[in-house]
């Protein structure tokens, strides 16, 4: 297909702004929506760097689709920018796990496309992570090793990292599982998610999902192709409990 030079340059301008800022505003968004040729060109440019384009609210975003993308936020960057010195991959695994739990908390199940709650308190977030890790602990070592192979997640290190934060000498426990160390870690995870424009603080130690996060969840997070069944695995106990009650 032949495109006019003007359309190619307009599309490339949108792409370069996406590459530089990660998002563009309403002017570029309107052009992207209105012109099929420009939209196709932008999508093609973005595809070449293993990214996808999403529309959320009044903004157009470019997000990495795979770890191969040069725009993917890698583990070393997260350690350097957000975690304490000496952080290991276990910190990253726990951060990812906590993020999955946070997203899941806003939906009735891993297959629900629309958010069913408006906000989540940090204390509740910690409690939910604690509950999910306790469920992981119900598996023996052999089962966990198999699950690690199935999902490419190091469940053992996630459990150990969380348990290491449970210092019985800490006197500021608020609820089950809520020690100073755990709350501090969740605050770090919160700051990372805010920087990625996935959550917003709304006061009273509560957060809410952004439109960007909701769009990502709807388009990718609920699809087994992308989440590899991890959400179904994490929330399977919840569904079993609901069926038992019924």
How do residues 12-70 score in pLDDT, each as one tens digit?
Answer: 999 999 999 999 998 999 999 999 999 999 999 999 999 999 999 899 999 988 777 88
How do residues 146-198 score in pLDDT, each as one tens digit?
Answer: 766 665 667 888 889 999 886 544 444 455 556 668 999 999 999 999 999 99
- Residues facing 203 on adjacent strands: 206
Rounded to 10°, the helix 89-105/75-82 angle is 90
Q: Domain boundaries in the chain?
A: 5-64, 75-245
Helix ranges (DSSP H) in 35-164:
36-48, 75-82, 89-105, 122-136, 141-151, 155-164
C-beta of residue 237 within 8 angstroms of C-beta of residue 137: no
Q: By C-alpha distance, which of 222, 241, 33, 201 is closest to 110?
A: 222
C-beta of residue 61 within 8 angstroms of C-beta of residue 53: yes
């Amino acid at each position: 297909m032949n495109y006019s030079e003007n359309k190619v340059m307009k599309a490339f301008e949108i792409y370069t702004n996406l590459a530089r800022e990660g998002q563009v505003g309403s002017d570029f968004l309107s052009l992207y929506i209105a012109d099929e040729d420009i939209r196709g060109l932008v999508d093609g440019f973005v595809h070449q760097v293993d990214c996808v384009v999403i529309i959320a609210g009044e903004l157009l975003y470019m997000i990495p689709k795979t770890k191969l993308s040069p725009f993917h936020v890698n583990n070393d960057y997260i350690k350097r920018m957000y975690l304490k010195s000496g952080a290991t991959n276990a910190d990253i695994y726990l951060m990812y796990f906590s993020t999955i739990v946070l997203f899941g908390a806003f939906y009735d199940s891993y297959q629900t496309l629309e958010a069913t709650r408006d906000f989540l308190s940090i204390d509740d977030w910690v409690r939910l992570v604690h509950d999910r890790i306790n469920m992981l602990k119900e598996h023996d070592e052999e089962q966990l090793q198999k699950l690690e192979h199935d999902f490419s997640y190091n469940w053992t290190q996630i459990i150990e990292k969380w348990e290491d934060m449970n210092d019985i000498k800490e006197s500021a426990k608020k609820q089950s599982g809520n020690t100073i160390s755990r709350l501090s870690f969740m605050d770090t995870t919160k700051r990372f998610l805010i920087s990625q424009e996935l959550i917003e603080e709304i006061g009273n130690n509560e957060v809410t999902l952004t439109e960007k996060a909701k769009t990502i969840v709807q388009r990718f997070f609920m699809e087994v192709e992308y989440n590899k069944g991890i959400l179904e695995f994490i929330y399977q106990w919840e569904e079993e409990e609901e069926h038992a009650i019924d």
